[in-house]
Each structure stands twice: as structure tokens, then as C-alpha cells.
């Protein structure tokens, strides 16, 4: 009875499957391509398989598929001895106590190593949108069966190397334990288990943190103490103004070069900015109310673009603009409801947290909010070919058009009248407004 119950619960579908027959080879003039003996051998090689498709069960976890991001291979065999180079690692799977969240973590611990490989199905590249489905096939040659199994949560897990922490360390000293273990590793051991990107990053970090020895530092301090400082010259020197705007080139001759789009959107981020592009490819008549007003009013312009590369670029800029507006609403009092259901890729959520928020505060500070608005305005200029109407973007940012004009002017924009409408343009080279400095009154 127990076996029958399991068979019913699995809901497996079975069907006979024959390997595809090869097409009959045509005879050429003066030559016979295939003989009767070859046809007989081909018939002997055909195998009849019994295919079984296994569905997911709530009381069991499906097979987990993962890969190592480094050169570590637990199945590597020495060609001379025919034995495995590495011992069989220990594999541990952690599952969230709440089954509805469907979160798992895989930890692979090589014996005797100071690092372990950790991967999850909810962070990193696994958090990106996925349109395909994975399956695992298990072929039994003796029984002539093929079982098709689902992959756990339909995710291929990437295993990243992590330094092991002391399990007996107290909770308040857990952070120092990781640093201590990392210090014990030599440079060669870290480079062996790290990815090429991590190795290059560590080399640059070591070069930046390289300092002078104690004797050299003492000698330099003595020399600096002997120098005479010209205070009058320092007071007359004008200081360089640190502007709270996106990366720019003040000497650029074109508007696109003044605020380069590649300095705002990194190369690896474009694949996460395809939402609006696929919305147009599906032939949707209009965007939903979840998108900002500026984006909805620019969809007709996207449909008229014939160059597919340019269409993807403008769509990516609109998608990033949407994420920035929703991030601002989510961290404000009057716009939280409009952004609570917005799905933002984890790569942009972490980036915005580090750029526009302080770790101590829950809200965005004033200077960070002004920087976020500047990024939105630069993206709007790129979308409108550097002639943009500030009316709709002011509604999305929930500020007045008068206040928004000040932000445009801080970017070096000028307002011109076009068809009875004032639009923001970006003349080059950039000409920023002067900073007013208060002069000391003489008594």
C-alpha cells in the first residue's frame, strides 16, 4: 500500500521512446553507400527507452544543480595514477524554516581546506529574472530507463569561495574571527580559490594600501615640519567646488559626452534593464500605471526607433529611471504606496543603498536626495535627446517645476522656449552656475 501511495503521489507520466532512426542514405552514381550488413548493425544499436517524468513533491527536495565559479573540481582525476586529486567534499544544504519562501543555501567543504564554497538560490545572478526551465535526466543503461527530474526551485546555483569562520567563537567576536582566518591564508592560497576578478581586485587593493615603513614616515614628517607655509597665498587661492551631480566632462563638445551614459550604467548592468524593451517587443499597447508618467509618455517615441541597438539603449535608460524614482518613493513618506509592489533587481537595490542612503538613517538625506534627482534628470535628457519638458518628470519626483528648474541649472542646463513650451537643453562645453561666497565684513 505504501508503494502504491508513493506512485500516486509522484504523478509520474510514462511513455515509450525510441531513438530516432537515421535517414536512408541515397546511392550515388557508381558507388553503394550502405550495405545490408551496415543496416543490420544500425538496427542492433537502436535502444528502446522507458521515459519517466517525475514531478515535484512537497515532502522532498528536488535535485540541486550547482557549479563552481573557480577552477576547483572535486572530480578531477590524475591522468598518471588514475586516482582523484581531491578528497570527496562534504556537502550541506540549508533550507528556510518557512517553506513558502523557497530559500536554500548549499555549502561545499573540501577536507582540510580553509575555505568553503557557498551558494544560494536567492542572491547574485540567481535573483535575476529567469525565463527558461531546467530538468535533470538520469539514464540507466542496464534497465534502459530515462528519468527526467525537476531542478530544485528551477535555479542553477553558483558556488563562491568563502573563508571558514571559527565555530567556537563568541557571537560578538564573529567578525574578528573571519578577519583572523583571512589573515592566516597566504596570498597563493587566496588566489587559488578566488575567481580571476577577485584576484585582480585584491592586487589593486594591496597596491593602494601599500605604505611606507616607520623610519621613512618619520623622516618625511620631519621634512614637512621644516616647511614654511604661505598663508596669504592659500587664502587668495580659489577652492575647487565639489558638485553633487553625476560624473561629467566639463570640456566635452557634445551633450552625450558631457554626461556619458557608460559612467552611469556599467557594462554588466544592461542585462538587468530590459523590462521596457521586452514590453515593447510583446506588442503591449500601453504601460501600466506602475510606471512613472515620464516613461508612459515616451513609449510612442520608442516604437518609432528603427535601430534596435538604440532602442535597447533608450529602453535601458527608462528602466533605470523607473528604478530610481521607485527607490525615492519607497524611502519617502508620501510615495511609499506607489513603490511597495515594485520589483527591483538586487544589483540596483544594493547600489542605490550605498549611493543614496546612510547606514544610520532610514530616510534619504537631503544631499543624497539631490544627487538622486540629478541622476534622474540626466537620464531624462538622454531619452529626450537633450531637449526635455520638465512637467511630467516633476510629477514623478513629487516636486514643483520651479524647484526642478534649479536642479537642471545645477547640471549646466539652459531653458529655451519651443512651441510655447519651456524645455531644458544642455549646451556644451558645460557652464555651471557660480557659487556665492559670503565675504567677511570689515569692522
Parse the chain into domains and list their residue ranges: 51-163, 242-425
Condensed to tens digits (0 to 9), the pLDDT of residues 325-351 reads: 998 888 887 777 777 788 888 898 889
The answer to which of 62-66, 195-199, 220-224 has the lowest mean pLDDT is 220-224
DSSP 8-state class, residue 436? P
- Binned at pLDDT 50, 70 and 90, residue 374 comes out as very high
- Binned at pLDDT 50, 70 and 90, residue 372 comes out as very high
Condensed to tens digits (0 to 9), the pLDDT of residues 278-326 reads: 887 776 555 567 788 898 888 888 888 888 888 889 989 999 999 999 9
Question: Terminal CA-to-CA distance of the chain, rounded, Å?
Answer: 103
- State residue 192's pLDDT score: 65
Condensed to tens digits (0 to 9), the pLDDT of residues 235-264 reads: 554 444 567 888 898 888 898 899 999 889
Strands 104-109 and 90-95, by their bridges, are antiparallel
Q: Decide: 71 and 161 in contact? Cβ < 8 Å.
A: no
Measured distance CA(162)–CA(113) in Å, rounded: 11
> Which has the higher per-residue pLDDT, 339 or 67?
67
Averaged pLDDT score across all residues of the chain:
77
- State residue 195's pLDDT score: 77
Find, among 326, 384, 315, the residue nearest to 356 by Cα: 326
In degrees and rounded to multiples of 5, residue 161 shows phi and psi of -75, 135
Q: Decide: 105 and 94 in contact? Cβ < 8 Å.
A: yes
Q: Span 70-99, mean pLDDT?
A: 85
Condensed to tens digits (0 to 9), the pLDDT of residues 13-63 reads: 444 444 444 444 444 444 444 455 555 555 556 778 888 888 888 777 888
pLDDT of 376 above 90: yes
Measured distance CA(411)–CA(379) in Å, rounded: 12
Range with the largest mean pLDDT of 26-40, 139-153, 370-384: 370-384
- Binned at pLDDT 50, 70 and 90, residue 230 comes out as low
Enclosing H/E stretch for 71: none
Amino acid at each position: 500500500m505504501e508503494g502504491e501511495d508513493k506512485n500516486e503521489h509522484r504523478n509520474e507520466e510514462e511513455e515509450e521512446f525510441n531513438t530516432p532512426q537515421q535517414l536512408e542514405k541515397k546511392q550515388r552514381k557508381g558507388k553503394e553507400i550502405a550495405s545490408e550488413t551496415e543496416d543490420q548493425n544500425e538496427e542492433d544499436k537502436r535502444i528502446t527507452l522507458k521515459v519517466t517524468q517525475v514531478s515535484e513533491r512537497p515532502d522532498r527536495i528536488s535535485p540541486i544543480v550547482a557549479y563552481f565559479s573557480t577552477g576547483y573540481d572535486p572530480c578531477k582525476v590524475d591522468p598518471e595514477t588514475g586516482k582523484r586529486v581531491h578528497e570527496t567534499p562534504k556537502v550541506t544544504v540549508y533550507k528556510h524554516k518557512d517553506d513558502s519562501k523557497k530559500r536554500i543555501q548549499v555549502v561545499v567543504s573540501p577536507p582540510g581546506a580553509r575555505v568553503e564554497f557557498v551558494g544560494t538560490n536567492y542572491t547574485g545572478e540567481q535573483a535575476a529574472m529567469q525565463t527558461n526551465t531546467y530538468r535533470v535526466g538520469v539514464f540507466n543503461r542496464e534497465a534502459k530507463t530515462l528519468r527526467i527530474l525537476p531542478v530544485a526551485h528551477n535555479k542553477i546555483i553558483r558556488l563562491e569561495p568563502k573563508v571558514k569562520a571559527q565555530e567556537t567563537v563568541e557571537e560578538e567576536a564573529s567578525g574578528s574571527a573571519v578577519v583572523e582566518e583571512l589573515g592566516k591564508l597566504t596570498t597563493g592560497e587566496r588566489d587559488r580559490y578566488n575567481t580571476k576578478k577577485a584576484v585582480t581586485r585584491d592586487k589593486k587593493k594591496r597596491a593602494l594600501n601599500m605604505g611606507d615603513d616607520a623610519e621613512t614616515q618619520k623622516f618625511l614628517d620631519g621634512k614637512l615640519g621644516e616647511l614654511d607655509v604661505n598663508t596669504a597665498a592659500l587664502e587668495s587661492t580659489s577652492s575647487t567646488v565639489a558638485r553633487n551631480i553625476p560624473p561629467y566632462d566639463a570640456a566635452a563638445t557634445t551633450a552625450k559626452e558631457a554626461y556619458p551614459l557608460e559612467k552611469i550604467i556599467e557594462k554588466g548592468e544592461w542585462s538587468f534593464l530590459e523590462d521596457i524593451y521586452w514590453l515593447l517587443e510583446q506588442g503591449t499597447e500601453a504601460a501600466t500605471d506602475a510606471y512613472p508618467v515620464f516613461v508612459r509618455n515616451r513609449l510612442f517615441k520608442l516604437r518609432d526607433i528603427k535601430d534596435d541597438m538604440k532602442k535597447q539603449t533608450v529602453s535601458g535608460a527608462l528602466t533605470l529611471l523607473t528604478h530610481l524614482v521607485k527607490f525615492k518613493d519607497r524611502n519617502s513618506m508620501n510615495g511609499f504606496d506607489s513603490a511597495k509592489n515594485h520589483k527591483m533587481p538586487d544589483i540596483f537595490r544594493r547600489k542605490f543603498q550605498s549611493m543614496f542612503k546612510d547606514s544610520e538613517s532610514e530616510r534619504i538625506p537631503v544631499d543624497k536626495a539631490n544627487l538622486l534627482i540629478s541622476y534622474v534628470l540626466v537620464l531624462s535628457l538622454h531619452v529626450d535627446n537633450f531637449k526635455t519638458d520638465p512637467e511630467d518628470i516633476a510629477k514623478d519626483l513629487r516636486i514643483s517645476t520651479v524647484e526642478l528648474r534649479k536642479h537642471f541649472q545645477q547640471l549646466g542646463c539652459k531653458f529655451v522656449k519651443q512651441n510655447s513650451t519651456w524645455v531644458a537643453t544642455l549646451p556644451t562645453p558645460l557652464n555651471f552656475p557660480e557659487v556665492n561666497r559670503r565675504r567677511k565684513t570689515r569692522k
